[in-house]
Amino acid sequence: MHKRQVRQVLQDVCSEDEIIDDDNSDSESDNCEDSDHNTASAMSDMSVSSDDEDYVNYYIGRDKITKWRMEPRKGRVRICRLNTVPELLGVNKHKAKKCKTPLECFSIFIDDNIIRIITECTNIKIDLYSSNKKHAYRTDETEIKALIGLLLLAGSIRSGHQNIRDLWDTKALGVDIFRTTMSYHRFSLLLTCLRFDDVTTRHHRRKLDKLAAIRDVFDIFLTNCQESYLLSEYCTIDEQLVPFRGRCSFRQYIPNKPAKYGIKIFTLADANSRYTFSMEIYVGIQPEGRYKVSNKVLDVVMRLVQHIEGSGRNVTGDNWFSSIPLAKCLLDKKLSYVGTIRKNKKELPKEFVTTKNREPKSSIFGFQDEATIVSYIPKKNRNVLLISTLHVEDNSISISNGTEQKPQIISFYNNTKVGVDTVDELCGTYSTSRKSNRWPLVIFFRILDIAGINSQTIYNNNKPRANLKRNKYLQKIGMALVLEKLRKRSCDFRIPREIRSKAAKYSGIDDPESFKTYETGQSEKKSRCTICPRRNDIKTKFYCCRCCKKMCLKHMKNICETCLQKDMEYETDEYSDN
């Protein structure tokens, strides 16, 4: 009745063409309801799109803010546009390009400044050591080079765990070159007194720097590494643990490392050539001053890569370094990043973390404009998470792994993650390190090992056809470093004839048996004076007992037997073991 009354009122008010028919009314009513439903659905979609952009097409991080698209945008699968290195790769410095011999390449890293610092600081320690010690006389740069050469030779024969005394054994285990270069007691004393800073002023410097004992040498070596070589497009960041169990305020314990205890060094290396480019020793919290820096992971990485910022290179790291903010900070510096990432990061969606109801060999991807994440199940209940700002909108599967169905991001990570690990392995294979309770000496041994690896990279770049094995390469450096010391010993008549003959043989000079004794300072044959002008043609049979150079009596100074005996007391005992 109510409907009929309403219709009657409408008929009275409206004209005949405006009268609403029942069927049409029902039809329009149905259409209106559909329209209302569609509008509500569209509004719902729009609200999700504006806020969360459709939960159906997006993963939401556990922070309820970060969104990852389920599908890549069509036509945008590519390598990051940043990964184009504009500069030439390889040997950088003009001086390094001219190096053709192993010794020249090695001298780029352990240069004259480092040798000079070590010599001066070691002499300070020797002066303080004890004047009553038979072998405690001052050293020089030639002897320090010979010491480094012997360490490299010992490393080349993998004698790191061998007793040092065995290397000087004359019966069974000894190596001739060691006892020919210097005595066992002198070698031991030099290792004991080897210093890299002034011990008399160290106390004041340690108030500002825990690394004061080796800071200068380490900084010079690091500068030489960064100036001599340009890294390839792909770099690796990781940590080394230099084995050490002595007393040290910043000694670390890392259970998953073979050594477990040691000194941690953050390292940036070339993923292809294994060239170590940058390092930072972890010392904990430094005292207030210029050396106090943040130890946050992001800050450590940014300090390591500061010399390659803006170069378009890629950095590969493990889950200890990886985070979403780090990847974005590197992008701001025009560097891409690829690395495994831990499951506890709040930006990751829960679908990526869980392994429940997921098939082995399966992968899911999440995409943003400048980053891609992937979750891969290698086997049941095992999950691998990676983030990449190098592979943009890339969900491709690598065909080189066969049935493993690994994503291309994981294959790339596996190929570039081993840069620092390989350096660590190479250092351990032919290590110069000896047993020591002094952490600066342990770091110096690692510097020598890395210098050997980096110098061979330079050598192989300059002489690609040389194809020297690493132990042979280290032996060439060691022999070249002890050469000058051998030449001096071959002319020193205070040591046994057998040692002089071997020193002459190793140094490549004639056997100086034409000389008589140290006391006379005369030889049987006359030769031109090395100081007088050639035009004078002054010939003499006298020579200097110290350098064995021929010279006339004008340039010789007389010395009494008492003073000569005092001078000889410092060195005579050195050769008693030989």
Three-state secondary-structure class, residue 165: helix
**Cα separation values, 338 from 178, 368, 502, 545, Å:** 47, 15, 55, 64
* CA within 13 Å, CB half, 442: 21
Distances (CA, A) of 339 to 48, 258, 324, 409, 456: 32, 23, 11, 9, 28
Residue 506 to residue 181: CA distance in whole angstroms? 10
Q: Which of 404, 399, 374, 400 is nearest to 388 (CA)?
A: 374
What is the pTM assigned to this prediction? 0.78
Domain ranges in the chain are 2-51, 56-81+319-416, 96-204+438-485, 515-578
> What pLDDT tens digit does each residue of the chain (578 aa) get?
444 443 443 344 343 333 333 333 333 333 333 333 333 333 333 333 334 444 458 889 988 898 999 888 875 555 555 555 656 567 776 678 888 899 999 999 999 999 999 999 999 999 888 766 677 888 999 999 999 999 999 999 998 888 888 899 887 778 889 999 999 999 999 999 999 999 999 999 999 999 999 999 999 999 999 999 889 889 999 999 999 999 999 999 998 888 899 999 999 999 999 999 999 999 999 999 899 999 999 999 999 999 998 888 999 999 999 999 999 999 999 999 999 999 999 999 998 998 888 888 899 999 988 899 999 999 888 999 999 999 888 888 887 777 788 899 999 999 999 999 999 999 999 999 999 999 999 999 999 999 999 999 999 988 888 888 999 999 999 999 999 999 888 887 777 888 888 888 888 765 454 344 444 556 556 788 888 887 777 888 777 765 667 778 777 776 665 665 555 554 444 444 54
Are 370 and 389 a contacting pair, CB within 8 Å?
A: yes
| pLDDT of the residue at 54 | 44
Place of tokens 């020919």: 180
Strand partners, 314: 234, 336
- Tell how far CA 132 is from the center of its chain: 42
Q: Is 148:455 a contact under the CB 8 Å cutoff?
A: no
pLDDT the model gives residue 73? 81
pLDDT of residue 190: 93
How far is residue 15 from each of residues 28, 197, 460, measured CA to CA in Å?
20, 110, 101
**pLDDT value for 208:** 92
Give dist(CA 129, CA 123) in Å, integer: 9
Residues 309, 315, 320, 326, Cα dihedral to 10°: 50
